[in-house]
Amino acid sequence: MSVQQLYKQWLQQPLPDYLATELAEIASDEQAIEDRFYQYVSFGTGGMRGVLGAGINRMNIYTIRRVAEGLACYIMSNGEEAKQRGVVIAYDTRHFSYEFACETASVLGAHGIRSYVYTEARPTPQLSFTVRQLNAYAGVVITASHNPKQYNGFKIYGEDGAQLTPQFANEIVAHMAEIDDIFAIEAATLSKLEQQGTFTWLANDLDRAYLTELLTLKSNDAIDCNIKLVYTPLHGAGLVPVSEGLRAFGFQQVYLVEQQAVQDGAFPTVPYPNPEESEAFELAMNLGEQVGAELLLATDPDADRLGVAVKNGEYYELLTGNQLGALLLHYLLATKQQQGALPHNGVMLKTIVTSELGTHIAEAFGVATVNTLTGFKYIAEKVAEYEKTGDFTYLFGYEESYGYLIEIFVRDKDAVQVALKVAEMAAFYKTKGYTLLEQLENLYKEFGYYKEALLSQQFEGKNGQVKMQAILQRLRDNMPREVAGLTVSCVEDYLARTATFVDGTVEQLTLPQENVLKFILADDSWIAIRPSGTEPKCKFYIGAVGETAEQTEQKLEQLKQAVVAMVQF
């Protein structure tokens, strides 16, 4: 069907009032109609994510039913046992998250597939844990992570509790493509499914089971539990598990940002609920000043990402994802080494756009580093692989975008785990007489000064997508030989799966195919270009390294300017 035909089809349906009103309001706006109907919401990294609203390129009950139907077909293709093991469904605090969770269960139930739904918002990592705990066949979490309030999403997890890798995700996409009429998808009522025994509300015993596992992370009793902490869930699902976990770890002076403890999908106190941004910490910083807190913690709405700020004289300084990852890695490895628990075949996992500082820290402890593509599903995939082969013992995994995993009872990034461990780490270093920032400086002095930056450019709508792909193709057709005065020593093209060196040598890359370019420079600085899998933007990652902080900062600025010129923003 054409865009206009789809628009008219939707107008003829008995839609909820809010969707019908939206469609009526854009009747004379061809661009708005085009944007809502030119494609279905794309199924990218870990699932689908988009703006709430009417149309096939929006998140609404009908596009949710479509992806739920695709998941149902996938499960049914794997036999009766898969149907009976069923699907765990969790959701965050966003607008329509609860409704979308119920719609998902209704579609699955119409096919006789069992589902388990939390009665309240729960973190994404707890969904991963629960899939494994209940031996379910799959999991779903309704979330758009740290996106603005206009967004929501649908993420699918496999029976191992990890996000689906492309192979299995493509099977679901293929089933979705076979759906001719989005309005003809059957959805049973939850009351009927409950009577049939194919629908279950999840109880608090699973909360307790998750907390019990969290307590296994405590590995150091030589800490000062009197450290003052401020925590904000940014109106999201981390409120209960992080607060209870910190108390259970022994921290008595935990101050909650009350205004942001209200679970509200409008996120009224922040521009958008991203713990990577300083604006998200404004209220936490105000409270920290009032109570004299040494450490601030913030989780995003589904509590899979953690942001951290540390008192630095008269102000609070935010740690980057790379900085916190390096601190955690060193603390975890040093603790295990001191306890004699460092395995001979330990491995640290990180993504190709994460700082190389972690590689050198791991090397100092005799721990291997394995790089993966961007997306925590690839880290989880390696965890499962090493469980089977025994080639490596997993010790830590992280990515620059504030995602970390310590213990593998969860198979996705887990801000709840990390919030507890960061508090323990800060308390430990306090007993040594220094802060996390001072420990970070110690790491820089030992391993070199590493600093990273992320630039991004929005490419909204159909025309934006075409322009973004053209930029990448232009770079592939005209590979730069030099960037900011530094020779490009290697170009890694993950779409072609080749690494081309300055002498013309070409090697095959072993990682899966993905539309990413990475330029490695002569001094080990680097640039990576990657279209987002979940948002209409292209991301430009930059890493610089030098012998001093000033040298590295200067080099990073030069690389940023070179990237802007290279891609012609």
SS3 of 96-142: the string is: CHHHHHHHHHHHHHHCCCCEEEECCCCCHHHHHHHHHHCCCCEEEEE
Alpha helices (runs of H) in 308-435, residue ranges in sequence order: 321-338, 357-364, 376-389, 415-432
Compute and round to an integer the Cα radius of gyration of the chain: 24
In the chain, the amino acid numbered 515 is N
Sign of CA dihedral 356, 358, 363, 364: positive
Ramachandran sector of residue 62 (left: φ over 0; alpha: ψ -120 to 50; beta: rest)? alpha
**What is d(CA 396, CA 171) in angstroms, rounded to the nearest whole number?**
30
310: tokens are 């540390």
* Residue tagged active-site, from 97, 106, 115, 145: 145
Other beta carbons less than 10 A from residue 236's beta carbon? 31
| DSSP output for 402-430 | TEEE-STTSSS--HHHHHHHHHHHHHHHH
Answer yes or no: are the C-beta atoms of 181 and 212 closer than 8 Å: no
Give CA 279 to chain center in angstroms: 19
Q: Which of 384, 322, 326, 366 is nearest to 541 (CA)?
A: 322
Answer yes or no: are the C-beta atoms of 215 and 248 closer than 8 Å: yes
SS3 of 425-466: the string is: HHHHHHHHCCCHHHHHHHHHHHHCEEEEEEEEEECCHHHHHH
Other beta carbons less than 10 A from residue 215's beta carbon? 11
**What is d(CA 417, CA 216) in angstroms, rounded to the nearest whole number?**
10
**What is d(CA 196, CA 565) in angstroms, rounded to the nearest whole number?**
62
172: tokens are 């679901």
Q: Which of 536, 530, 535, 534 is nearest to 460 (CA)?
A: 536
**What is d(CA 52, CA 71) in angstroms, rounded to the nearest whole number?**
21
User: Does the annotation count 456 as an active-site position?
Assistant: no
Helix H or strand E segment including 310: strand 306-312
**What is d(CA 323, CA 118) in angstroms, rounded to the nearest whole number?**
34
**What is d(CA 394, CA 367) in angstroms, rounded to the nearest whole number?**
10
Q: Tokens 């009103």 label which residue?
A: 21
| DSSP output for 31-84 | HHHHHHHSSPPPEETTEEEEEBSSSTTSBSHHHHHHHHHHHHHHHHTT-HHHHH
Please give the positions annotated as active site: 145
